[in-house]
Amino acid sequence: MSIQSFVDYLSLEKNYAEHTITAYQKDLEVFQNYLLDEFSDGDLKAINYTQIRSWIIQLVDGGLTNRSINRKVSSLNSYYKFLIKIGDLKHSPLAKHKALKVQKKVHIPFSEEEINTVLSGAATHDFEALRNKLIVELFYSTGIRRSELINLKISDVDLAQQQIKVLGKRNKERYIPLIYTVQDTLKLYLDMRNTLKQILVPDFLFLTQKGAKIYGTLVYRIIYTYFSEVSSKVKKSPHILRHSFATHLLNHGADLNAVKELLGHSSLAATQVYTHNNIAELKKVYAKSHPRQTKV
C-alpha cells in the first residue's frame, strides 16, 4: 500500500488539515529513505521494530528533541494502524513501542492587566490599526486558534445572534458568543473594510491593506509586537492569548466543560492543561479563608 493511499485516507476520510497531512507524508517519506539508505529496502510493510529503533537512535544522535521524535513516530504509528484497518497488515511493528519522555511545556498566560493595557492603548485611526486591535480582541474573547481566525469568513459573523461560527480541526464547526466590546470593534472594522480600494478575497473577514487574505506570520507578528511593549514573557503568540482566554475564564469560575466547548477540544484532558493557574488561585483562597489555616 503506497503512502499516497494513506494521504488520501487522511484527506478524504479523516478530514485532516492540509499542513497536518503534509507533515505525516514527509515523516513517512523520510523514514522510507532511511530504510533505503541503511537496509536497501524501502518497503514500509516489511520492517521490524529493530529497524524503527535504529532510526530513532539516528534522530536522537542528530539532535532532534524527544517531542519531535515522538511526533515522527506517531506518523508511522498512524500509517500502520491504517494498514491494519484495510487488512494489509496484521500487526504493527510499533505495538510495544513506548514514547520518549518529554518535559511538559509550561505556557505562561498574559495577565489580565497586560491584556487590558494592550487593548486600552491600541490605536484605531486607520484600517490596519483597527484590524490589529480586533484580532487581539477576538483571540482573547473567543480563544480561537490562529488558523481559525485566518479562515474566518464574513458569513461566519452573525451580529444579530452575537456570535461567530468557527471551523475547527477536522472541519468541526462550533459557535462562540461575542462580548459587546468585540461587537463594537467588529462593526467599526466591517465599515472600514468596505472602504478598501480593492478586495481580492471578499469572502474572508480579515484582509491585508491590499485586500488579500491575511497569513500566519502576519498574525503572529501583530500579537508579538503588541505584547512586547507590555510583557516581559518569553513567549508572545496567538496561542498564549488562547491560553490566557481559557485560564482567565477558569480563574473567574467558568465550568471546565464549557471552556472545552469554546476551545473546540475533543476531550476534556486537552482542556485540563489550562487549570494549573486556576489551582493556584484556589490555593490562595484556601490559605486565606479556611478556618483551620494558621499563619506562621
φ, ψ (nearest 5 deg) of residue 88? -85, -10
In one-letter notation, the amino acid at residue 192 is: M
In one-letter notation, the amino acid at residue 152 is: L
Is 72 a residue of the active site? Answer: no
> Rounded CA gap, 206 and 198, in Å?
13
- Of the residues 97, 153, 169, 213, only one is catalytic, namely 169
Is 292 a residue of the active site? Answer: no
- Of the residues 146, 236, 248, 265, only one is catalytic, namely 265
> Rounded CA gap, 55 and 44, in Å?
13
Is 295 a residue of the active site? Answer: no
CB 136 within 8 A of CB 226: yes
* Alpha-helix residue ranges (DSSP H) falling in 229-275: 238-251, 256-263, 268-271
- Of the residues 71, 233, 235, 239, only one is catalytic, namely 239
Strands (E), 76-224: 157-158, 163-167, 173-177
- Of the residues 72, 107, 133, 145, only one is catalytic, namely 145
Local structure of residue 204 (DSSP, 8 states): B
Is 260 a residue of the active site? Answer: no
Residues in the chain: 296
CB 264 within 8 A of CB 250: no
> What distance lies between CA 270 and its chain's CA centroid?
11
> Rounded CA gap, 191 and 168, in Å?
27
Is 91 a residue of the active site? Answer: no
All three cell numbers of 141:
474573547
Strands (E), the chain: 157-158, 163-167, 173-177
- Of the residues 107, 133, 236, 242, only one is catalytic, namely 242
Is 97 a residue of the active site? Answer: no
- Return the active site residues: 145, 169, 239, 242, 265, 274
